[in-house]
Amino acid sequence: MARTGYGRKRVLVTGGAGFLGSHLIDRLLDQGNEVLCVDNLFTGDKRNLDHLVGNPRFEFMRHDVCLPLFVEVDEIYNLACPASPIHYQHDPVQTTKTSVHGAINMLGLAKRLKCPIFQASTSEVYGDPSVHPQTEDYWGNVNPIGIRSCYDEGKRCAETLFFDYHRQHGLEIKVARIFNTYGPRMHPSDGRVVSNFVIQALKGEDITLFGDGQQTRSFCYVDDLIEGFLRLMASPADVTGPINIGNPVEFTIRELAEEVIKQTGSTSKLTFLPLPQDDPKQRQPNIDQARAKLDWEPRVPLAEGLDRTIAYFRELIEA
């Protein structure tokens, strides 16, 4: 173990240069920990970590989790994987490898170190759900051979590996199923709905909706999500998850577009395109387990979170 004394932990965050990873690292450092960030920069961006240059408790390592990693740490957060359809469909084979081989390598490291390991899973394991809202005991409705399968099935297999390591080797695991999250440091061209709408609105372009815009999503602000991560990792060993971490307040995609137009003061118009293959019609978490086991629920309302996100992208565009 790599315990550094005075209660300080050395924490490994894979995918740490990404949107969620960089926010998690900030919180871990704020707690007084040492952080080793591992990222191959396929979708991560070192600019998300620029503010940490010179911090003696932060270290960056360029590495692909598909390859074994030999380091000494006290905890592992496994966030490495492209998470937007544009990025994970760019190289679908590599996406599956990252989820599966990456999980095997990080689980092997955790087994050797006898340390707890956190898996950033996804609401995509539910596919296009026939149960609404989605509870953790729902097995999902996933197309195993579709264009989204590399991500959906990769994450489902990673969950399988985590629970088999837990049962077979007694490994302490924490599995979070992440629902739609937004906030500063989102990749501006990752194709996610919040970043797409904000950038289109700020540029005065038409806002592109797929289908009729009546499909629903639940949007969780990044600070709330990271708080959920930390509470799950700090929970008793018998709290393994999977636990839904997301915002249970549901909005249609059209309502989101109209709120973005309102907050940006944009003159953008709405345009409609055909719905992509296997795009879920509904996505809303049941967070009863998170409330009961973690005393967690999101605090930041959509209007407030969008205000902070719009300010970030406005500065990015004007830079």
Phi and psi, residue 270, nearest 5°:
-90, 135
Place of tokens 């296997």: 278
The number of residues in the chain equals 319
Catalytic residue, chosen from 88, 126, 151, 182, is 151
3-state DSSP call for residue 59?
strand
**Which among 304, 199, 293, 211 is positioned nearest to 249, based on CA atoms?**
304
One-letter amino acid for residue 243 of the chain: I
Q: Which residues contact 26 (CB under 8 A, 6 or more apart)?
A: 52
Residue ranges of alpha helices (H) inside the chain are 19-30, 85-88, 92-113, 149-169, 193-202, 222-233, 253-264, 288-294, 302-318
One-letter amino acid for residue 272 of the chain: F
Which two three-digit tokens encode residue 264?
């940006």
Residue 151 among the catalytic residues: yes
Q: What is the DSSP string of 179-208?
A: --EE-TT--TTS--HHHHHHHHHHTTPPEE
**For 265, how many CA atoms within 13 A lie in the half-sphere containing its CB?**
2
CA distances from 173 to 52, 84, 120, 144, 312 (A): 28, 25, 11, 26, 34
CB contact at 8 A, 216 and 282: yes
DSSP letter (8 states) at residue 276: P
As a dihedral over the C-alpha atoms of residue 11, residue 16, residue 19, residue 24, rounded to 10 degrees, the angle is: 10
**For 234, how many CA atoms within 13 A lie in the half-sphere containing its CB?**
12
Which two three-digit tokens encode residue 212?
């009729």
Q: Residues with catalytic annotation?
A: 151
